[in-house]
Structure 1
Amino acid sequence: MEEVLLWSIFACCIVKKKKRLEHIRGSVRSKWSRKWLLKRRDFSHIRLLSELRDEPNDWRNYLRMDMDTYIYLLELVTPHIKKENTCMRAAISPHERLTATLRFLATGRSYKDLEFTTIISKQSLSEIIPETCEAIYKVLKKDYLKFPKTEEEWMEVAAEFERMWQFPHCLGSIDGKHIRIVPPKGSGSYYFNYKKTHSVVLMAIANANCEFLYCDIGTNGRISDGGVINNTQFYEKLVNNELKIPKPRSIGSSNRVLRYVFVGDEAFAMRPDLLKPYRRETFTRDRRIFNYRLSRARRVVENSFGILASRFRIFHTSINLKMHNVDTVVLACCALHNFLRRKSPQNYTPPESMDQENISECTVQLGERCNPELVHDLQRGPRGHMLNNANGVRDHFKEYLNNEGSVPWQDRFITLNNEWRT
């Protein structure tokens, strides 16, 4: 009886397996792709690009860079994104891969929408774009997103801040921004921030030329105050004195010895090596002047974020990608920002894109800043923690900037701007 039962079960399994195989055979696609996707040479935007060669302004608007810069970038990334043809189909060329990626970053369009202009399937774009972004970041970060590693390199950064913004011994301007995302399924409120959107935080340090020295992306938006900096490798090395920051020294002909510092806003806890403004309720004339001078140095990172979001409209959307791909896309944009700032600054960042300070009229004309609903600031917390000697370091800078380090227009500027805020 048992033997008959076993044979019945075995026969039943054979029948089910046979039906499953028949179902699979019946579902095999009869063609590789939809017919119109096979006509990429006829319909793709690549044909449009060939026409735009004679229209430099339109080419720049389309890919966010001039043709010479694009060709140079293509040469850099081609070894990392080139695929071999097979006996079954021709590979998508590096030119098509890079232009599709740049259009995605420049417009923020969905893969499905981009499919109709690139004539590349949505499934292929979902692999091509993250891969190309990773290649862009890989080839550019060494030369264009370089973090200082020696005292000499830090001093070059500080010299530029003093030359351009008259703030001595400044090693960089620090700020963080929330980058909106479509949260992963099942993430709940993990990425939910104080602006009632879902986001990850981009923490960055900018130099005097509005270029990023350091970028960290990935901290969830739920950590919405300055404490987000604690999750970065930069802060860990800063606390452990591993950044090779120059030792305090005098400034020019002055006998006053000042530390080398970073500057930030009220979102951060102040340290001896990270200065932030005085609070408004403690204002005196000297403190207002310090805040004004600090703000001139700190605004470079605000400009950097503003230009980044203006040129790459992906930041005007809620980025709908896997989380590791979100990080890759943001870092690629930051690397491209620095690359374009150096290769074609007049096209990428014309003068009107920067904050313009009118010294004679004591006014500031803001350049391209971020819409607060798109890429918004970290939440400003309460007074926050302050290390014991941090206040003394800030007071030393205040005294210097009000005496031998003063600039002729600072008193007039704060007098005509009674509601001045940093």
Structure 2
Amino acid sequence: MDKELFMELLSKIGPRIEKQRTFWREPLEPRLRLALTLWYQAMGDSYQSLQYGFRVATNIICGIVRDTWETIIDEYMKEVIVCPMTPEDGRWWPRDSPISGTSITVRTLDDRHIVMCAPRKTGSIYHNYKGFHSLIILALVDTDYKFIYTDVGANGASSDVGVFLNTPLRRVFNNYHVGLPPRDALPGGDHPIHYFIARDDAFPFKEYLQKPFPLRGLFTGRTALQLLTVPCQTSG
């Protein structure tokens, strides 16, 4: 993060995280509170290591990180992560971008596992198929790599489909509360095709959700070549 972006963020949330001065204490400056929170989020340091770098007690750091991060989310939520709700919303429409494989793919949906320490007495609930404990973040991303919808908090043992099925996003799509743009033809074509969200092979086909063509049960290139080179058997 460069200085200009830091100062922009500070100007927006600074007044909201500034604490009142009293006879008993001199509060920490908003600049320090923001810097400490960003460092914690970016580097993953423990509170114990941060207390030496910033000269702030661990019990105070805990409250600073929580309060500052909640303020950042509240300040930017409606501006940054806004899921389009109507077909006419310009945020649906694809633009030239490295992740826009076709002109009818409007968004991409995927999830990631966030490494975490296993909570006490949770067994294998948070233990994922990759072999570590995690929380899952499911994100809908536009053609500029910007998040427009996120679902955070599913346990690591959940499947991709299971996470999606429990999100409000799936429910509003199924109930047609969120509409994609009207059908349109591919470049050079004349047959209208539905706009859709791209997803990987784990998901089912839906009118609004498409995935790569499955290769299961198809001949591999080597097998097909072997079949073509086998001489035909003719009867005498």
TM tier relative to shorter chain: 0.7 to 0.9
| Offset at residue 217 of structure 1 (A) | 0.2
1:128-187 Cα distance to aligned partner (Å, 9 max, x none): 10211111111112222221122222x543331579735122221000111111122222
Matched, 1:169 2:104: yes
Preserved contact between residue 199 and residue 221 of structure 1 (Cα < 8 Å): yes
Between the aligned partners of 1:258 and 1:247, the Cα distance in structure 2 is: 9
- Quote the residue 1:228 is aligned against: 163
Structure 1 residues 118 and 162: alpha-carbon distance in aligned structure 2, compared to 1, 3 A threshold: closer
More strand by share: 2
Structure 1 residues 73 and 162: alpha-carbon distance in aligned structure 2, compared to 1, 3 A threshold: closer
Preserved contact between residue 100 and residue 106 of structure 2 (Cα < 8 Å): no
- Quote the residue 2:30 is aligned against: 94
Between the aligned partners of 1:131 and 1:156, the Cα distance in structure 2 is: 31
Preserved contact between residue 78 and residue 94 of structure 1 (Cα < 8 Å): yes
Q: Secondary structure at the match of 1:120?
A: coil
Amino acid at match of 1:138: D
Q: Secondary structure at the match of 1:281?
A: coil
- Quote the residue 2:223 is aligned against: none
Preserved contact between residue 266 and residue 276 of structure 1 (Cα < 8 Å): yes
Between the aligned partners of 2:45 and 2:4, the Cα distance in structure 1 is: 25
Amino acid at match of 2:150: C
Aligned length: 219
Preserved contact between residue 219 and residue 231 of structure 1 (Cα < 8 Å): no
- Quote the residue 1:115 is aligned against: 51
Q: Secondary structure at the match of 2:39?
A: helix
Preserved contact between residue 227 and residue 268 of structure 1 (Cα < 8 Å): no
Q: Higher relative contact order by CA 8 Å / sep ≥ 6: 1 or 2?
A: 1
Matches within 5 A, 1:236-275: 236-251=171-186, 254-275=189-210
Matches within 5 A, 1:16-165: 65-153=1-89, 155-160=90-95, 165=100
| Offset at residue 258 of structure 1 (A) | 0.6
Preserved contact between residue 185 and residue 191 of structure 2 (Cα < 8 Å): yes
Between the aligned partners of 1:233 and 1:143, the Cα distance in structure 2 is: 20
Between the aligned partners of 1:278 and 1:207, the Cα distance in structure 2 is: 22
- Quote the residue 1:195 is aligned against: 130
Between the aligned partners of 2:215 and 2:60, the Cα distance in structure 1 is: 54
Amino acid at match of 2:28: I
- Quote the residue 1:205 is aligned against: 140
Matched, 1:219 2:154: yes
1:175-227 Cα distance to aligned partner (Å, 9 max, x none): 01111111222222221211221111100011111111111101111113422
Q: Which has the larger radius of gyration?
A: 1
Quick one: percent identity of the two aligned structures?
28
Preserved contact between residue 147 and residue 214 of structure 1 (Cα < 8 Å): yes
Structure 1 residues 216 and 164: alpha-carbon distance in aligned structure 2, compared to 1, 3 A threshold: closer
Preserved contact between residue 77 and residue 136 of structure 1 (Cα < 8 Å): yes
Between the aligned partners of 2:51 and 2:68, the Cα distance in structure 1 is: 16
Between the aligned partners of 1:163 and 1:191, the Cα distance in structure 2 is: 33
Preserved contact between residue 162 and residue 168 of structure 1 (Cα < 8 Å): no
Between the aligned partners of 1:225 and 1:84, the Cα distance in structure 2 is: 46
Q: Secondary structure at the match of 1:265?
A: coil
Q: Secondary structure at the match of 1:280?
A: coil
| Offset at residue 253 of structure 1 (A) | 5.9
- Quote the residue 1:288 is aligned against: none
Between the aligned partners of 2:79 and 2:63, the Cα distance in structure 1 is: 26
Between the aligned partners of 1:255 and 1:156, the Cα distance in structure 2 is: 25
Instruction: Calculate the TM-score normalised by the size of structure 2.
Output: 0.85
Q: Which runs of 5+ in 2 are unaligned?
A: 220-236
Amino acid at match of 1:173: T
Between the aligned partners of 1:137 and 1:96, the Cα distance in structure 2 is: 18
Preserved contact between residue 261 and residue 275 of structure 1 (Cα < 8 Å): yes
Instruction: Calculate the TM-score normalised by the size of structure 1.
Output: 0.49
Structure 1 residues 132 and 283: alpha-carbon distance in aligned structure 2, compared to 1, 3 A threshold: farther
Between the aligned partners of 1:81 and 1:279, the Cα distance in structure 2 is: 51
Match of 1:186 among 121, 124, 131: 121
Q: Which runs of 5+ in 1 are unaligned?
A: 1-64, 285-422
Structure 1 residues 122 and 227: alpha-carbon distance in aligned structure 2, compared to 1, 3 A threshold: same
- Quote the residue 2:224 is aligned against: none
